[in-house]
Amino acid sequence: MDNQIFSDPFVRNRAIQNDYGICSATRQNWVNQGLLTRPVHLSAQMVATPRSEHSALLAARRAGQSEDFIKSLVKQLHGKRNAEPLDSVEESARELRSLAAKLRAQKAALASVRSPNRKSRVGQEQVAA
């Protein structure tokens, strides 16, 4: 596997939900309450949260920190995010788009490998029936 997958600078919403064991509605409520950071828009249809922010909040929650502490941490993370130079955000978005293209290519390659097997199984089932 490509090592770049593990150095992805962003975490998608579904992964966040899985890490906390919550549904999308709860995740959105936590964002509205200030218990999670707002996701970053990477494109017109893609949002994600910086991995560093997600890791910090997950560690605080696992350590049993109070909601007030987590809310103050979210405010600090939002402030830090707003102070980041735009170039680093654009670079991260470029990296994510590059990774997404690689994953699409891998998925297409897997689909082309699996397709003949599926057709042969269907054909075998029809002959047996």
DSSP result, 17-71 = HHHHT--HHHHHHHHHHTSSPPPEEEETTEEEEEHHHHHHHHHHHHTT--HHHHH
Give the tens place of pLDDT for each residue, 46-90: 999 999 999 999 999 999 999 999 999 999 998 888 776 656 667
> What residues contact 89, with CB distance under 8 A and at least 6 apart?
40
34 — pLDDT class (breaks 50, 70, 90): very high
Q: Give the separation between CA 97 and CA 99, rounded to whole angstroms.
A: 5
In this structure, of 15-24, 44-53, 90-99, 100-109, the range with the lowest mean pLDDT score is 90-99
Q: Which residues pair with 46 in a beta bridge?
A: 43
Q: Taking the domains of the chain in order of start, what are their residue ranges?
A: 3-128
| pTM for the full predicted model | 0.58
